[in-house]
Amino acid sequence: MPHLVILYTGQLDRETDMGLLCRRLADAMLTIKDEAGKPVFPTGGTRVLAYPAAHYAVADGGTAGREAAQFNSNPHSGPNGSGDSSDYAFVYLNLRVGRGRTEATLQRAGQTLADVAHAHLADVFGQRHIGITFQVDVGNEVFDNKHSNLHPLFNKS
């Protein structure tokens, strides 16, 4: 932990670099400090994963946007139909962390990461209708097992 998982409508792969978004978010996670000035997230535990939805349906499929004549010049628009590029876009970002961080720290982390996502997606936001949701969840683990040889790479004293 922390794991930031991004689910998004698949047409965005043609409209933005989701791999770059992942890198930007991971880099931002590593800059966040707690109230004592210590890193909030361990370098070796930081993960950002993005998954496109091959099939999706968002709201009314783009009908209201087309009727409002907004974004008609979108070069990515295609024929109408559920899940095609004329449908609305959506990005869901979920940061899941273990317990032990203050609410203020998590609020700051969430806002920092949301700002990074919004900046990265600003061009898309200006070209099409898109919903972006960012949530931070704190684990209430019943079972938590970690097996990694990544942490020693970054725990040099």
Angle between helices 103-120 and 18-29 (to 10 degrees): 150
**Residues pairing with 93 in the sheet:** 6, 134
The answer to whether the beta carbons of residues 62 and 89 sit under 8 Å apart is no
Q: What is the CATH number of the domain that holds 86?
A: 3.30.429.10
Domain contains 69: yes
φ, ψ of residue 58 in degrees (nearest 5): -120, 125
pTM: 0.84
Total domains in the fold of the chain: 1
State how far the Cα of 21 lies from the Cα of 157, in Å rounded to an integer: 31
- Which tens digits make up the pLDDT trace of 6-34? 999 999 999 999 999 999 999 999 999 99
State how far the Cα of 79 lies from the Cα of 156, in Å rounded to an integer: 55
Parent domain of 123:
3-140
Domain contains 9: yes
- Which tens digits make up the pLDDT trace of 33-90? 999 999 999 999 999 999 999 899 898 888 888 887 666 544 444 433 345 556 899 9
